[in-house]
Structure 1
């Protein structure tokens, strides 16, 4: 026990004397032994201080508690530091100049604390180019049989590109506070190995008048509170404003707002491939396809109210609902990033006719799903019904019979056909299915309040 005896006689400033007892050991080994003797002595001193010869059970308990704190606090600090360091998506550079599907994200960003598959450039899943190439003639056949407008007879001439071309010039990904993000960072952060489709909800905010209406406010809140997405993605051209925008921020607390909301500013689509897009609804049609094609998740129109969690749909590469028995609806759909159906749908816009209402947004996607049924899951009535053909089931006075709590993941309200603008006060007494659903989101109850 020479080292221990020596250490008891000397002070910390004379450490070399105790190490000399272990000569001729190498210096590094001597220092290590010396250090261990210090540690033993410190522990011994703590033991003697806390546990004298006659020690009560209370003092033993205090000693164990103190030792636990000494060991636990450094571990907590290290864990907190690692978590802060592993946050992905933050970068000082904006996502600019990307002209094709294959250039995703900013290659300068390094995810050193992530596995190799998460490092830049991150691709959630590769585009199945082999399938697209081998089935391109089949896609053209589907388009030639689809009532899509004046270019139906010119499919062979117009369909030249076999890879989706998405021009991301002028796009900016950021948090509500303005911290810049990257596309690749968002893909990496929202990757979920348990599901095919990531848990994102996309809304395109009004790009002509940036003020939110009351029903926009309720539908966005429903997407956040009911679907519980990892990220709520708000696409916009002009910064949103108005009373209901401020109310939306108030109802999603500040820390959650910053952590869970992603803002993406982008120009409104004016051209896709060689086709001009001027009708605002058609511009939004293109923007929603590109949103889900790049990031994945669920797209919802601003008049789609979320009524149940959508986890069952996330196991599919692509899922969409029916507006009519034979017509699909693009008001709400889900998909994995880079999935085949969305890629084919985007490629079909090489034959786009801006004068054809619903040609590509409704009929083309229906024909794509008919020709590629293994890649497309169709919900009969859980995403869009009862629909505009059963208008009274949503808006009829006194009609509260539609069982939306068990039938629907979401409901497309076709609100512009209704036209009545409610507010937080008037919605309390509205006696129809719309009133029930809005009250459920806002107040947690279906029944009308007494006037």
Structure 2
């Protein structure tokens, strides 16, 4: 009898447990599909997506207690993704975001996903120039986006939802690091690549401005499924993101502070803190600017003197240093020259010595009045203008055999311009003197600069290594040369142009920087090399010691007869060197429209 009672009680208990389980399952299903309940009824601007006003989301302690564990190896591909889906101008701060990603994350590829066919046509001339500069970033690739892949196009009407839809599709298929177009990366993301899925925290929720994911990460799959709600059939990514994070905290690593602003920013009233004050973001992996709230657009010249957190971030992204490096020290009165008045050229591979090469070389004789001209080469040039220069230079010219370097500090060097970069430093360490690229023309004697142990000129994105003045074995040149221990032959101007600028900020007492005297008359415009071939807006070059023409941007070769009639800066300088006067020498003028 007792055993029968026990059996009946057991059956009743089992039925009760089954009933509780069914109720629990039904409750969880209803709670996921109904409108989310919030702790607060007061409305706040939620900058999770920056698209609309919505209630503040609670942050459950469960999300803090159950965290995704770091893996044993990196699982997130080293690919950075940007998304651009609007016909709008490409501005300077967009360029900063892309440069910062390249500089600090060092991705294998930067993918720019867009449905815009010609990015350069949706803005002013400055926008076009910034886009052209963007395309020069190493490993940058435009990836056309032709429409939604996993859902109907009408589900993507909201611009912010569209961005998130594309982002989820892209990360599901490829994985990688997604960055909003106004996010500035500040340091390597390497340690974060060991997590399956990483997202950042903001005061009002989770920020989609920075996301790291491996392809088909479980959190991504849940996010996609939650977003495509089976009842509505519409894409609702922001609510879905928070719900997935609440339900599956073990599948996501949340960066509490690594991606968020450090200025106690609560909303639009505080947006200016970053642009007007000094806030330390040195511990951040990245920071989102929320630049859409900013009415003013800056340019490369203006950020040099901008005293704010944004100014430091912009300089770090663009110039490789948070401080703008200019030297105000001068040699003591009566100091003697420490840089020999010796001109050095580096000429690798056999090719013709053309008229513009002749003009530059002639300027070293007639303007600089060099004591010696050393031509370091593995193949002496030829042609009419080479023979003419040898006649003019006479005993000043010395041909010095120089083999092309194949490595530096054990790192392979295959690019000919990079070989020249290395050789010019090695030559100056040994001899000292004045190195000139073959498309540089001296317009004023460099005597005042020979008292500085090392001098370079500013370039748009660093220092111009096409003109270098150095004492033998100078301190800064040693620092500069030793930075090639980290040389990367795949990066075009990283070591040669960007790195010396960064080093100048760390060694300001060992380098003199000419702002516009050793590059071009108005180097503050990235495309100013085009202006010096035009009559319109001719530049004043009276203060300039030398002009680095970057002749490949022009390309056409000329002769003494043509330069008589060129009504532009090149014509003026060419006539000064060849004829002794910059004045026009004919009535029928020639100009270049391209």
Which bin holds the TM-score, normalised by the shorter protein?
0.5 to 0.7
8 Å CA contact 2:462, 2:500 repeated in 1: no
Which residue, out of 387, 397, 413, partners 1:246?
A: 387
What residue number does 1:360 align with?
A: 495
Determine whether 1:351 maps to 2:486: yes
Cα distance in 2 for residues equivalent to 1:250 and 1:231: 15
Cα distance in 1 for residues equivalent to 2:580 and 2:447: 22
Three-state SS of the structure 2 residue aligned to 1:342 is helix
8 Å CA contact 1:146, 1:363 repeated in 2: no
Determine whether 1:339 maps to 2:477: no
Change (3 A) 1:327 1:417: same
Change (3 A) 1:150 1:355: farther
| Poorly superposed stretches of 4+, deviation over 4 Å | 145-153
What residue number does 2:577 align with?
A: 441
Which residue, out of 400, 406, 429, partners 1:264?
A: 400
What residue number does 2:546 align with?
A: 410
Question: What aligned pairs does 1:198-209 form with structure 2 within 5 A after superposition?
Answer: 198-205=340-347, 207-209=348-350
Change (3 A) 1:211 1:331: same
Q: 1:441 offset after TM fit, Å? A: 0.4
TM-superposition CA deviations, 1:349-408 (whole Å, max 9, x none): 111000011110011111111101110111100011234521343111x24732212x10
TM-superposition CA deviations, 1:203-241 (whole Å, max 9, x none): 122x22332011111101112211111111111111221
Cα distance in 1 for residues equivalent to 2:359 and 2:402: 24
Question: What aligned pairs does 1:124-143 form with structure 2 within 5 A after superposition?
Answer: none
Determine whether 1:395 maps to 2:536: no
Change (3 A) 1:270 1:299: same
8 Å CA contact 1:203, 1:220 repeated in 2: no
Change (3 A) 1:328 1:356: same
TM-superposition CA deviations, 1:140-186 (whole Å, max 9, x none): xxxxx976968998xxxxxxxxxxxxxxxxxxxxxxxxxxxxxxxxx
Three-state SS of the structure 1 residue aligned to 2:441 is strand
8 Å CA contact 1:199, 1:229 repeated in 2: yes
> How large is the Cα RMSD of the aligned pairs?
2.3
Cα distance in 2 for residues equivalent to 1:236 and 1:399: 39
What residue number does 2:266 align with?
A: none
8 Å CA contact 1:148, 1:363 repeated in 2: no
What residue number does 1:218 align with?
A: 359
8 Å CA contact 1:148, 1:353 repeated in 2: no
What residue number does 1:279 align with?
A: 415
What residue number does 2:373 align with?
A: 232
Unaligned runs of 5+ in 1: 1-144, 154-192
Cα distance in 1 for residues equivalent to 2:413 and 2:107: 15
8 Å CA contact 1:149, 1:355 repeated in 2: no
Cα distance in 2 for residues equivalent to 1:148 and 1:271: 25
Change (3 A) 1:150 1:332: farther
What residue number does 1:420 align with?
A: 556
Three-state SS of the structure 2 residue aligned to 1:429 is coil
Which structure has the highest strand share of the two? Answer: 2
Aligned length: 259
Three-state SS of the structure 2 residue aligned to 1:281 is helix
Which structure has the highest helix share of the two? Answer: 1
8 Å CA contact 1:319, 1:334 repeated in 2: yes
- Give the TM-score taking structure 1 as reference length: 0.54
8 Å CA contact 1:318, 1:339 repeated in 2: yes
Cα distance in 2 for residues equivalent to 1:403 and 1:411: 12
Determine whether 1:329 maps to 2:481: no
Question: What aligned pairs does 1:30-429 form with structure 2 within 5 A after superposition?
Answer: 194-205=336-347, 207-252=348-393, 257-258=394-395, 260-324=396-460, 327-385=462-520, 386-387=522-523, 388-396=526-534, 398-399=535-536, 401-405=538-542, 407-429=543-565
- Give the TM-score taking structure 2 as reference length: 0.42
Cα distance in 1 for residues equivalent to 2:537 and 2:575: 13
Cα distance in 1 for residues equivalent to 2:384 and 2:465: 28
Q: 1:261 offset after TM fit, Å? A: 1.9
Unaligned runs of 5+ in 2: 1-101, 109-186, 189-334, 589-594
Three-state SS of the structure 2 residue aligned to 1:333 is strand
Which protein, 1 or 2, shows the higher relative CO under an 8 Å CA cutoff with sep ≥ 6? 1
8 Å CA contact 1:201, 1:231 repeated in 2: yes
